[in-house]
């Protein structure tokens, strides 16, 4: 009986950390958008362009390393997502990240109005480099304690 309660409590805990990592509310992405393949290979040139676009469009909110600690954060009603969060980024496909950047939500601008598709894919490639560790490595770490 105790064990079952513990298991239930663990589930609630895990579910709430996943929700928190993504901001206040779940952010559903259409299945077709999730499946969309990234047409831009993550070459050094793509990453260079992604980094430049990130600095001029995203850093103010998401911070230099994607931690959600940019200079504008104090003015925002809710904190920007931590883009270096391995589990959160690990569970999203490139298509999903592309869609969220394109559509925006709340304080997160709708970047399809400002950046062309290629620029948004460069950003997806660049965001992958901000993730602190590979999803596998993170699972390994959690397993140990
Ligand atoms: C004005 C502040 C602001 C700027 C500028 C901004 N963002 Fe965001 N971003 C946010 C906020 C706030 C959220 C959380 C939105 C929500 O969950 O409702 C967010 C969420 C995201 C997410 C979704 C993560 C998740 O929770 O699933 C991605 C990806 C993202 N931003 C990438 C970018 C990129 C790339 C840029 C630059 C092109 C950018 N953002 C610029 C504020 C900003």
In whole angstroms, give the CA distance from residue 48 to residue 54.
10
If you take atom 27 of ligand 1, which residue's CA is the nearest one? Answer: 22
Nearest CA to ligand 1 atom 2: 61
C-beta neighbour count of 37 within 10 angstroms: 8
* Residue 72 CA, ligand 1 centroid: distance in Å: 12
Nearest to 96 by CA among 143, 128, 144: 128
**42: how many CB neighbours lie within 10 A of its CB?**
17
> Would you state the pLDDT for residue 16?
43
Blockwise average pLDDT, block size 10, the chain, 145 residues:
54 46 80 98 98 98 97 93 94 97 96 98 98 61 50
Q: Could you tell me if 85 and 130 are in contact, meaning their C-beta atoms sit under 8 angstroms apart?
A: no
CA of 91 to the centre of ligand 1 (A): 16
User: What pLDDT is stored for residue 61 in this prediction?
Assistant: 97
Predicted pLDDT of residue 14: 44
């Amino acid at each position: 009986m105790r064990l079952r309660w513990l298991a239930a409590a663990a589930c609630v805990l895990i579910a709430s950390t996943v929700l928190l990592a993504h901001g206040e509310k779940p952010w559903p992405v259409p299945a077709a958008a999730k499946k969309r393949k990234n047409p831009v290979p993550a070459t050094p040139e793509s990453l260079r362009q992604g980094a430049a676009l990130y600095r001029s469009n995203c850093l103010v909110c998401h911070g230099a390393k994607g931690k959600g600690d940019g200079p504008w954060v104090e003015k925002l009603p809710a904190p920007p997502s931590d883009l270096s969060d391995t589990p959160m980024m690990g569970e999203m496909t490139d298509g999903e990240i592309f869609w969220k950047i394109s559509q925006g939500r709340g304080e997160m601008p709708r970047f399809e109005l400002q950046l062309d598709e290629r620029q948004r894919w460069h950003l997806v490639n660049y965001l992958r480099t901000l993730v602190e560790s590979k999803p596998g490595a993170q699972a390994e770490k959690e397993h140990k304690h």
